[in-house]
A and B are shown apart, each in its own frame.
Chain A
Amino acid sequence: MSGAQILVKARGLTKTYRMGHLDTTVLRDVSLDVRAGELALLMGPSGSGKTTLLCVLSGLLRPSAGEVELCGVSITGLADRVAAEVRRRALGFVFQTYNLFPALTALDNVAEVLALKGMLLADARRVAGEALARVGLADRLHHLPGELSGGERQRVAIARAMSGDPALVLGDEPTAALDRRTGLDVVRLLREQVNERRAVLLVTHDIRLTQFADRVIEIDDGRIVADGHAGALGRHEPRDAP
């Protein structure tokens, strides 16, 4: 794994928010690498800085100090427009609340993102259909999100995240709104997306997900307090059963 391509390289990240007259530091000198071929979990208590770190790593927020490289491109000083272009090419996102357009079918929710990335609509629909088939939704292509279960919606979101063949997929509590079994199915699906060119980094509170992770990064009070294999960090892998 140590020879795998580094997809995210963060050095000395600090993020401070000004709230009124008060400065609140949510990230303190965070450095980490995420390499292709790994599924990493970012864990920690509420307010520890997990989501802020995900935002900074993806270029959605600028750090107050430090630097982030995404797929070899330093995004810290980039103009918003250029950073957006890097995200467009390199990133996929999966969210807790799916964030699908309710008026679009599963197929179109995926295809429209591909079209936004510059693909012709006919090609986009074909690729979207293939992506949905890969996540087990070949028979649900023309269903609206409102006609799908939570797990199916999250699968659509995963297909959307994967459809542009991104190097890095970021997830923010992707299982939080799902029941136990569906949540594990979703993470299993995300695990399947990891390959020698791609990594998945998930923010989660759910300790059960560690069984699928190559690596667990623990953060507390804005600092990385542990970083290693789930077993090495003393995590107990729960039974994968109902």
Chain B
Amino acid sequence: MRRIAVRSLLFDRGKLVASLLGVALASTLGFVQVGLYRGFETSASAVIDHVGGDMWAMPTGLEVIDYAQVVSVGPRNLLLSHPCVADVRAVVYGFAITQVSSGTRSSALVVGVEPRPGRRTPWNVLEGDPDELAQPLRVSVDRTDLDKLQLPSSPIGRTFEISSRQVTVAVLTDGIRSFTLSPYLFTSMTNARRLLGVGENEAMYYVVDLVDRSCAGDLVTWMKRQPDIQMLDTDAWSRKTQAYWVGGSGAGAALLFTAILGMFVGGVIVGQTLYSMTKEHLLELATLKALGARPGELAQFVLWLVLFLALAGIVSGFSAALVLKHVLLGAGLTVVVSPGTVAVSVLGTLSMCVMASLTSLSAVFKVEAATVLR
């Protein structure tokens, strides 16, 4: 039945093209929307994910990393006094006002992280030496923010103002974008404190590395002595920040809606083509039934058609998504193509195709062999 289905599909070029366009459109939308969604999520929590650690200490009630508040050195000392804590790193993080050469003012996120082997910030370095950031008032900028900061494509050594202080670009990174669209400017702890007006021993977050992850609960209990501080597992903190921006802003719902709409449109096109092809072949299928074919064997006609369309659509959708990924990157949008996003998109396309085949399957199951003799 596979050969009958595939040859019938290839035989009718018009229907083949129409259905392939439908499934490829839906599949492309699926890959891109899921990739954008994941891209939004990863950019929302990029700093948390790259700084890492086992747990983060922060002011109680904080929902998202970007709304950072200053924390005194007290919690750090309390953390270090617990035997389960191997290391504590301070993170200075906050919005600052930038002023570019034309005089335009905007906001940027200044980030300083106490270094740790294997966890360097910034990452994805294109040009410059991250060690240079330790020099006074040196910062990194991202390639995607060069226009916003009115910097040339090779910005190393160029200057602009942050909090009325002139800073010099020492590092150029690639693809480190915040969900808020404010440029990330990485620098040393000293520079970050200076630019954000934070005291010498103060920070916004303390990242904790545990001796043993199983004692995380003990540490949370221990830190209840300081009720204005909450402890969150790094993964949970990452998800919380992602949920705040991607879920709370409505961006996730918009992407999901577009993906569903794309799948719906693709499903209608594929469904109509499949149904039309099935109806065209009902007499032949009824003939096979008269000759003794079982309903399950006849259903394979539709299932092979839909499988062929789904696979062709997935391959073309994936190829189109890879092209769009590069196009959208130029526009500052990150489309994540990972095993996870591919799996979700493939599953979505397959589900769409299966749904689209239901009316055709119903027609095949209902076909009466006696119709061939009427």
Residues of chain A having any CB pair with chain B under 8 Å? 51, 54-55, 58, 60-61, 81, 84-89, 91-93, 95, 97, 99-104, 108, 112-113, 116-117, 164, 172
Interface contact B287-A93, CB-CB below 8 Å: yes
> A84-B293, A101-B7, A103-B11 are known contacts; what are 9 more A-B pairs with Cβ within 8 Å?
A60-B369, A85-B292, A91-B290, A99-B283, A99-B286, A102-B8, A103-B10, A116-B1, A116-B297
Contact partners of B129 in chain A: CB under 8 A: none
Give A87 to B290 CA distance when docked, in angstroms: 7
Contact partners of A54 in chain B: CB under 8 A: 373
Interface contact A101-B284, CB-CB below 8 Å: yes
Contact partners of A117 in chain B: CB under 8 A: 292
Contact partners of B1 in chain A: CB under 8 A: 112, 116
Contact partners of B368 in chain A: CB under 8 A: 60
B265 close to chain A: CB less than 8 A: no
Instruction: Name A92's closest neighbour in chain B (CB-CB).
Output: B291
Give A89 to B293 CA distance when docked, in angstroms: 11
Interface string of B1-19 (1 = CB under 8 A from A): 1011001101110000000
Interface contact A99-B293, CB-CB below 8 Å: no
Interface contact A104-B373, CB-CB below 8 Å: no
Interface contact A87-B291, CB-CB below 8 Å: yes
B291 contact from A55, A97, A113, A172, Cβ within 8 A: A113
Interface contact B374-A116, CB-CB below 8 Å: no
B194 close to chain A: CB less than 8 A: no
A116 contact from B8, B10, B291, B372, Cβ within 8 A: B291
Instruction: Name B10's closest neighbour in chain A (CB-CB).
Output: A103
Instruction: Name A84's closest neighbour in chain B (CB-CB).
Output: B292
Interface contact B372-A51, CB-CB below 8 Å: no
Smallest CB separation, B48 vs chain A (Å) = 56
B156 close to chain A: CB less than 8 A: no
Instruction: Name B8's closest neighbour in chain A (CB-CB).
Output: A103
List 8 tightest A-B contacts by C-beta distance, closest first. Answer: A88-B292, A103-B11, A99-B287, A60-B370, A87-B292, A103-B7, A103-B8, A55-B370
Give A144 to B372 CA distance when docked, in angstroms: 21
Interface contact A61-B370, CB-CB below 8 Å: yes
User: In the complex, which of the residues A104, A117, A172 has the most CB atoms of chain B within 10 Å of its own CB atom?
Assistant: A104
Instruction: Name A100's closest neighbour in chain B (CB-CB).
Output: B284
Contact partners of B284 in chain A: CB under 8 A: 99-101
Give A84 to B369 CA distance when docked, in angstroms: 10
Contact partners of B374 in chain A: CB under 8 A: 51
Smallest CB separation, B314 vs chain A (Å) = 24
Interface contact A99-B372, CB-CB below 8 Å: yes
Interface contact B283-A97, CB-CB below 8 Å: yes
Residues of chain B having any CB pair with chain A under 8 Å? 1, 3-4, 7-8, 10-12, 281, 283-284, 286-294, 297, 368-370, 372-374
Contact partners of A81 in chain B: CB under 8 A: 294
User: In the complex, which of the residues B283, B284, B289, B374 has the most CB atoms of chain A within 10 Å of its own CB atom?
Assistant: B284
Smallest CB separation, A119 vs chain B (Å) = 13
Contact partners of B288 in chain A: CB under 8 A: 113, 116
Give A173 to B286 CA distance when docked, in angstroms: 17
- A–B pairs, 25, beta carbons within 8 Å: A55-B370, A55-B373, A58-B290, A58-B373, A60-B369, A60-B370, A60-B373, A84-B294, A87-B291, A87-B292, A89-B292, A93-B291, A95-B287, A99-B287, A101-B4, A101-B8, A101-B284, A103-B12, A104-B3, A104-B7, A108-B3, A116-B1, A117-B292, A164-B291, A172-B372
Smallest CB separation, A181 vs chain B (Å) = 26
Interface contact B4-A91, CB-CB below 8 Å: no
Contact partners of A112 in chain B: CB under 8 A: 1, 3-4
Query: With A84-B289, A84-B292, A85-B292 given, is the CB distance from A95 to B373 under 8 Å?
Result: yes
Instruction: Name A58's closest neighbour in chain B (CB-CB).
Output: B290
Give A75 to B74 CA distance when docked, in angstroms: 89
Contact partners of B297 in chain A: CB under 8 A: 116
Contact partners of B290 in chain A: CB under 8 A: 58, 60, 87, 91, 93
Smallest CB separation, A64 vs chain B (Å) = 14
Smallest CB separation, A179 vs chain B (Å) = 23
Instruction: Name A112's closest neighbour in chain B (CB-CB).
Output: B4
Contact partners of A97 in chain B: CB under 8 A: 283
Give A108 to B372 CA distance when docked, in angstroms: 20
Interface contact A51-B7, CB-CB below 8 Å: no
Instruction: Name A113's closest neighbour in chain B (CB-CB).
Output: B291
Interface contact A104-B291, CB-CB below 8 Å: no
Contact partners of B291 in chain A: CB under 8 A: 87-88, 91-93, 113, 116, 164
Give A229 to B231 CA distance when docked, in angstroms: 100
Smallest CB separation, A113 vs chain B (Å) = 6
User: In the complex, which of the residues B283, B286, B290, B297 has the most CB atoms of chain A within 10 Å of its own CB atom?
Assistant: B290
Contact partners of A60 in chain B: CB under 8 A: 290, 368-370, 373
Give A51 to B372 CA distance when docked, in angstroms: 10
Instruction: Name A85's closest neighbour in chain B (CB-CB).
Output: B292
Instruction: Name A116's closest neighbour in chain B (CB-CB).
Output: B293
Contact partners of B286 in chain A: CB under 8 A: 99
Give A43 to B368 CA distance when docked, in angstroms: 24
Interface contact A91-B292, CB-CB below 8 Å: yes
Contact partners of A113 in chain B: CB under 8 A: 288, 291
Smallest CB separation, B302 vs chain A (Å) = 15
Smallest CB separation, A167 vs chain B (Å) = 13
